[in-house]
Structure 1
Amino acid sequence: MLVLQAPLTPYSASIPSGPPPSAPNRTAQPLPSNPNPALGSALFALDLVPANVAPSIPIPANLLGISIELSVADEYFGSDPQTPSYQFLNYLANIRARAGVGPIVRIGGNTQDTAEYASNLDGVIRKVGGGLNAAGIPITPHLIYSDVIFQSLKTLVNLTDARIVWGVNMVNNTADFTLDMVEHLQKSVGDSLEHLLVGNEPDRYALTGNRPASYSIDTYLDEWGALTQSIINAAYADDVRQFSAPSVCCSWTTSQILDAGMRSRFSDRLKAISAIKYPQSLCQSDAVYGHAGYLNMTNIVNFAMYDVAAVSTAVEMGLPYVLAETNTASCVGVAGVSDTFTSALWAITASLELAYRNHSAVLLHNGGANVLYNVFHPPTRNTTTTAWRTAPIYYSLIVLAEALRSTSSDQSRVRNLGLNETMAAAYGVYEEETPVKLVLVNMASSNDQTQVMNVEFDLPANGNAAVSFKTLTAASVDEKANITWAGQTLSYYSDGTLIGTEDVQTLACPSQRCTLRVPAPSVVLVFLTQQAQSQASVSTSAFEPQGTNNRQLILDSNGSRGNRGGSTSKGSTRRNAGCARARARAGATLPLLAVLAPLFVSLSV
């Protein structure tokens, strides 16, 4: 139970705004050619239970989660655990309300391996160095971080049911601070710790100068084993299965490391097998492809098969396979692509393909202010606006949460239904062998009526005579702001809440045969059964900023500095106060907050 003092003075504040998104540059990033013949020229008949296509292993509803670079974690969480960034809480609460379980939040990345823990540090994170090199590539800073970040994680866990993956420094694999750090982390998040991800991209240690050029997989395994054993001896003697690895990206493969000894030597302590993979990298060269590369099922399937052998081994071991870090392109992302609707279409389709191929978690990475692929953007300290920005790829998190939520257990199964189109896809979601949901993706580049897909499928003979469906859509794939999910939007500047009236549509299916139109570009989520349809409409509670003596001031994204409110965003005015105080809507699915007394807001956990 976390109890926070209520505001001293009521106030009203609108969502701050800022400069509009930049217009598409279709010279630099041209729209891909639409399918020819047009998608609308054929009727796509789907078999929802194909005989020769086995479904995935059971997949959790929080498959798609978030990864945050350690060096900027305080910019997302806030610098004071008692006044967390309410916008960030809202973004996570949207996922929790739809998945029925808290989202996975990983804290780590390159900077976990340059980070030292100092419990008595004044502040949250202190950085030395960093920035960008002449080519615009991020330079990894050295970090020192304090116990405050663990207190922030505790607040996050309490309020959103988040599941935490924490990155452990392996470059400094004999440091005294590691054991102290694990102890404080354990006290803060307890059973909400999914696993400790030990080491980040160890296959690049020699390249970055952190190990000699002769650094080998055998040496890595010895170091990993010694470090994890020291953590076990200090904190986990009674439950050694706490770790994930190898989290390689480039020079080695996960299957190489498993076969070289990780499986035989450390299966007792592995809680997950982890990897890092992006479709392409901008770290050494320009992007290989733009929109057309992401809106292509051949590329998506190839991406999802990056290490089939390792995934198969994880399934044999009974361990989840976690893609611990991914996004559209490593090293900042692709301008005009990573920050557009293309990223949402890609993330939804790629995540479903990864689920079909037995991944249990896919975590979208987020970095600093200059990173184009971020899921959402907190304001930077050197700007006048206090507004957060919602990136198009964020919508993939809430769509997947709804698609994968089971009506009878905590997991579903996924099938690729083999649409055999370059710019379209269809996935079935199952409870055992019963189809309960259907995800249809139309990746045609613009709102062209000739590209509207007509999809036909049959419902069970004793089932419903109608289905419900929701649509994620935009006018074109290079749209950055005007995106709607079932009639609601987060707009561009946002406090993390969906604006507008939810629009769940119904389609009659005479004789149990349904014919559904899928606009271009869009994703349509179809609820096939009565139980699934009962989950189609989602209500949430929103977190609000804490008020102050000066009603002109609201707390900004970093949780400690008051800033003047800005202009209204899409007519959305937020009222009342209280740190993370809820505006409970009817039928809210996340009853985290309750007002217990005039002077206090009590947050139940």
Structure 2
Amino acid sequence: MALPTLLFTLLAALGGVQAVTVYGQTPLVTATSLAPGASYTGLAAYDTRILDPPPLPEPRPPTQFGIQLSATSNNVQGLSIPLSGAFYGFSVEMSVVTQVIGLNGSFIHPPFLNMMSLVAERAGRVHVRVGGNTQDFARMVPSLADGKAIEKQVVNTNNPTQTPGLLYTTEILYLLSNISSLTNVKWYLGVPLNDSTNLALDIVEWGERILGDSLLGFQVGNEPDLYQRHGHRVEGYGPFDYFGEFGDVIAGIKALNVDTANNLIGPSLATGDWYPEDIWNTGFIPAYTESLGALTVEHYPDDNCAALYEGFGTPVDPQQEFARYLNHTAGKDIVSIYLNSTNIAQQAGKPFIMFETNTASCGGFPGISTSFGAALWAIDYGLTMAYSNFTHALLHVGGQNVYYNPFTAVPTNQSSFNEWTVGPIFYSVLAVAETLGSSNNSRIIDLNQNEGNIFTPGYAVYENDNLARLALINFMTDSSGANDYTATISIDGGESGQPNGTPAQIQVKYLVAPSVGDKWNVTWGGQSMGGQFEADGRLKGELKIETIQCDQQANICQVKVPAPGFALVFMTEEAMRESEPASTATFATTAITKAKNTATIDQAVLATSNGNKGMQGRYGSTSAGSNAAPRAAGAYPGAVALLAVVAGAEVVRRAISRHV
């Protein structure tokens, strides 16, 4: 990190102040509801459709069952590899960076910062990829008109990838770097591969220079197995062709004399026209092992392409499709085709990453992708991937024309305080982070509980070889409570030959909503991100974690899991401390004017946004245009100075104490 950033950040630590960015903006929209019989015709990200929960399964799963566990991992067979709480991250489509992340190096969207801070405080860090289909058609230019950081070109509206060509400047990289100076976000970038004879490697050179230690790696090509199908390669393009192009990228980078520190990533197959084994069989891993930082795939369980494009058959009815997401088989089916590859990755000593995923490609499904059911699906899917020895997984974030976004800015090219929309699937990221904790040494096992019933899955997490947490899911919806289930937990004792190990008490945190079809009445530990157009990226409300008294003589603890719901069970106080942050840095913003060199901060907002400790003085930008001052490697001093001076001390403490 550049010296100016470090100095200003240390000043922030001494001042104990949180970050404030001031823009000239006004509230723009309010949520509305549809009249009976009306159809929603607006942007997909704000679709108000709510699906009915599927009927209860027949036969009904047992609602009382036991879970027998070992206090230590010594006698537990089948545990995963060690995992990080930063298991789930985000994949942001490159074309929507300015909507989702910020406009340039000096204008960062505070709701995005707040959400990254929420995850980082639980997981230790956040992994974010900037790329997608648009990365293969992106080119860096010295500057753009009107000081823009990114500009879209022509789009083929009947192409299922709907890929605009992109022009961008180094402002995008300074934007990412400045975010990393405020909260512990690490980045993946992509090398364009649409023209393998004229490689555009500027992003490698400038990415290394600007992002430094905040850079995780470069993806070489996005879904190359679909290149021919989408008209981006000639007929006959196959795995050996991609193998050769990957080698060309390595040679091109070496010619630039840029040290990429073994951080190239591939093959990032969609598992559409090829399988990963088709690439492994080329000798890809041993040939490029010195350059490979991770092995990657991308996959969605379904697609909604027929609803958007010609030639894809009959559109799917989301109501009929909904039930397929609401059981343990859904995640296992996705993962099954990669089990051989996760073993190969372990043998090669490489991480194996689900580099892009979500509920369905082509933007997801209305009613499904925006539902509480999708949140339960994503938790189960994520933990299934973790158990199957994936290292990380990235949930894709698109623009306002997709349903599956974990979070979406307001429907305008501006941001407005307290008016983002956070989807239920964002809670899944928090839940998985807290399930795995921040030690980077958690191992997980699928309990196959309740005789393997697919509607009531559960997992146990061992941290530093000791039982730490349980993750229990109920996919059913029943407001009567008749299909809530009670899991009776026993630790050692009985036939184990070990003394009773059940603690005197345990803590339970719930993710709940009235129905799997619900969108906005979702709470995590009693807290909510807010409803449509109500989110600023912070959890709101009082945190509620239930304490359950156990019967140590009988060696049992009983945990009820509502229908529907997710229960995270903390087996020890230490396990809860590893998951629950003592505090979270927040980034608040408000403005009352667009006049040049004028900024007024609402002190009441600041006082309540920062642990009731308000700020002294007023902060804001005094320049109407972008700062053209000299830029240090890895930082944009003008922007970082403004942002870092008001960054919270907690950000600094976490950044220093936690490492990749």
Give the TM bin, normalised by the shorter chain.
Answer: 0.7 to 0.9
Structure 1 match to 2:495? none
Which amino acid in 2 is paired with 1:517?
A: K
Is 1:576 the counterpart of 2:606? The answer is: yes
Q: What CA distance in whole angstroms lies between the structure 1 residues aligned with 2:565 and 2:132?
A: 32
Q: Any idea what SS the aligned residue of 2:89 has?
A: strand
1:287 CA displacement: 3.4
Identical positions, percent: 29
Say if 1:319 and 1:554 are closer, same or farther in 2 by CA, change over 3 A.
Answer: farther
> Quick check: 2:359–2:369 contact (8 Å CA) kept in 1?
yes
Say how many residue pairs are matched. 575
Say if 1:432 and 1:138 are closer, same or farther in 2 by CA, change over 3 A.
Answer: same
Which amino acid in 1 is paired with 2:536?
A: D
Is 1:128 the counterpart of 2:145? The answer is: no
Q: Any idea what SS the aligned residue of 2:445 has?
A: strand
Say if 1:42 and 1:15 are closer, same or farther in 2 by CA, change over 3 A.
Answer: farther
Which amino acid in 2 is paired with 1:212?
A: V
Q: Any idea what SS the aligned residue of 1:494 has?
A: coil
Say if 1:421 and 1:22 are closer, same or farther in 2 by CA, change over 3 A.
Answer: farther
Is 1:61 the counterpart of 2:85? The answer is: yes
Q: What CA distance in whole angstroms lies between the structure 2 residues aligned with 1:93 and 1:16?
A: 25
Q: Any idea what SS the aligned residue of 2:128 has?
A: strand
Q: What CA distance in whole angstroms lies between the structure 1 residues aligned with 2:604 and 2:322?
A: 36
Q: Which moved more, 1:105-114 or 1:446-455?
A: 446-455
Say if 1:40 and 1:451 are closer, same or farther in 2 by CA, change over 3 A.
Answer: farther
Q: Which moved more, 1:326-335 or 1:460-469?
A: 460-469
Is 1:526 the counterpart of 2:548? The answer is: no
> Quick check: 2:50–2:518 contact (8 Å CA) kept in 1?
no
Say if 1:335 and 1:186 are closer, same or farther in 2 by CA, change over 3 A.
Answer: same
Say if 1:20 and 1:96 are closer, same or farther in 2 by CA, change over 3 A.
Answer: farther
> Quick check: 2:19–2:588 contact (8 Å CA) kept in 1?
no
Q: Any idea what SS the aligned residue of 1:71 has?
A: helix
Is 1:246 the counterpart of 2:267? The answer is: yes
Say if 1:301 and 1:574 are closer, same or farther in 2 by CA, change over 3 A.
Answer: farther
Structure 2 match to 1:569? none
1:45 CA displacement: 3.1
1:300 CA displacement: 1.8
1:368 aligns with one of 387, 392, 399: 399
Is 1:151 the counterpart of 2:174? The answer is: yes
Structure 2 match to 1:489? 528
Structure 2 match to 1:19? 31
Say if 1:115 and 1:13 are closer, same or farther in 2 by CA, change over 3 A.
Answer: closer
Q: Which moved more, 1:78-87 or 1:494-503?
A: 78-87
Stretches of structure 2 lacking an aligned partner (at least 5 in a row): 13-17, 38-47, 306-311, 493-499, 621-641, 656-660
Which amino acid in 2 is paired with 1:583?
A: N
**Higher share of residues assigned strand:** 1
For 1:228-377, what aligned pairs fall within 5 Å after superposition?
Answer: 228-237=250-259, 240-249=261-270, 250-283=272-305, 284-285=312-313, 286-287=315-316, 290-377=321-408
Say if 1:24 and 1:198 are closer, same or farther in 2 by CA, change over 3 A.
Answer: farther
Q: What CA distance in whole angstroms lies between the structure 1 residues aligned with 2:535 and 2:27?
A: 7
1:509 CA displacement: 0.8
1:453 CA displacement: 0.7
1:189 aligns with one of 211, 232, 246: 211
Structure 2 match to 1:558? none
Which amino acid in 2 is paired with 1:472?
A: L
Which amino acid in 2 is paired with 1:545?
A: T
1:162 CA displacement: 0.5
> Quick check: 2:525–2:543 contact (8 Å CA) kept in 1?
yes
For 1:29-68, what aligned pairs fall within 5 Å after superposition?
Answer: 29-39=51-61, 41-47=63-69, 53-68=77-92
Q: What CA distance in whole angstroms lies between the structure 2 residues aligned with 1:66 and 1:22?
A: 31
> Quick check: 1:103–1:163 contact (8 Å CA) kept in 2?
yes
Q: What CA distance in whole angstroms lies between the structure 1 residues aligned with 2:85 and 2:344?
A: 23
1:195 CA displacement: 1.1
Say if 1:263 and 1:104 are closer, same or farther in 2 by CA, change over 3 A.
Answer: same
Q: Any idea what SS the aligned residue of 1:203 has?
A: helix
Structure 1 match to 2:626? none
Which amino acid in 2 is paired with 1:72?
A: V
Q: Deviations over 1:432-481 (max 9, x none)?
A: 44210000001102433111111011236356311011000000001010
Q: Which moved more, 1:307-316 or 1:36-45?
A: 36-45
Say if 1:459 and 1:24 are closer, same or farther in 2 by CA, change over 3 A.
Answer: farther
Say if 1:9 and 1:431 are closer, same or farther in 2 by CA, change over 3 A.
Answer: closer
Say if 1:14 and 1:454 are closer, same or farther in 2 by CA, change over 3 A.
Answer: farther
Q: Deviations over 1:385-426 (max 9, x none)?
A: 7721010100001111111114xx423111000021121110
Q: Any idea what SS the aligned residue of 2:106 has?
A: coil
Q: Any idea what SS the aligned residue of 1:91 has?
A: helix
Say if 1:83 and 1:374 are closer, same or farther in 2 by CA, change over 3 A.
Answer: same
Q: What CA distance in whole angstroms lies between the structure 2 residues aligned with 1:172 and 1:89?
A: 34
Structure 1 match to 2:509? 470
The alignment's C-alpha RMSD in Å is 3.6
Is 1:543 the counterpart of 2:565? The answer is: no
1:229 CA displacement: 2.3
Structure 2 match to 1:443? 475
1:428 CA displacement: 0.7
1:533 CA displacement: 2.9
> Quick check: 1:83–1:546 contact (8 Å CA) kept in 2?
no
Structure 2 match to 1:559? none
Is 1:413 the counterpart of 2:443? The answer is: yes
1:508 CA displacement: 0.7
Q: Any idea what SS the aligned residue of 2:467 has?
A: strand
1:528 CA displacement: 0.5
Say if 1:199 and 1:531 are closer, same or farther in 2 by CA, change over 3 A.
Answer: same
1:594 CA displacement: 9.4
Q: Any idea what SS the aligned residue of 1:319 has?
A: coil
> Quick check: 1:34–1:444 contact (8 Å CA) kept in 2?
yes
> Quick check: 1:322–1:361 contact (8 Å CA) kept in 2?
yes
Q: Deviations over 1:72-129 (max 9, x none)?
A: 1111112132221001100111001111x22100011111111111132341111112
Say if 1:74 and 1:9 are closer, same or farther in 2 by CA, change over 3 A.
Answer: closer
> Quick check: 2:357–2:393 contact (8 Å CA) kept in 1?
yes
Q: What CA distance in whole angstroms lies between the structure 2 residues aligned with 1:430 and 1:361?
A: 18
1:27 CA displacement: 10
**Higher share of residues assigned helix:** 2
> Quick check: 2:177–2:211 contact (8 Å CA) kept in 1?
yes
Q: What CA distance in whole angstroms lies between the structure 1 residues aligned with 2:229 and 2:455?
A: 38
Q: Any idea what SS the aligned residue of 2:588 has?
A: coil
Say if 1:229 and 1:22 are closer, same or farther in 2 by CA, change over 3 A.
Answer: farther
Is 1:400 the counterpart of 2:432? The answer is: yes
Q: Any idea what SS the aligned residue of 1:393 has?
A: helix
> TM-score, normalization: structure 2?
0.80
Q: What CA distance in whole angstroms lies between the structure 1 residues aligned with 2:59 and 2:580?
A: 36
Q: What CA distance in whole angstroms lies between the structure 2 residues aligned with 1:52 and 1:468?
A: 23
> Quick check: 1:195–1:271 contact (8 Å CA) kept in 2?
yes
Is 1:214 the counterpart of 2:226? The answer is: no
1:270 CA displacement: 0.7
Is 1:113 the counterpart of 2:130? The answer is: no
Structure 2 match to 1:423? 455
Q: Deviations over 1:252-309 (max 9, x none)?
A: 1112201212012111111100000111122235338522100121222111212221
> Quick check: 1:277–1:325 contact (8 Å CA) kept in 2?
yes
Stretches of structure 1 lacking an aligned partner (at least 5 in a row): 556-561, 566-572, 587-592
Which amino acid in 1 is paired with 2:222?
A: N
Q: Any idea what SS the aligned residue of 1:516 has?
A: strand
> Quick check: 1:198–1:224 contact (8 Å CA) kept in 2?
yes
For 1:74-85, what aligned pairs fall within 5 Å after superposition?
Answer: 74-85=98-109
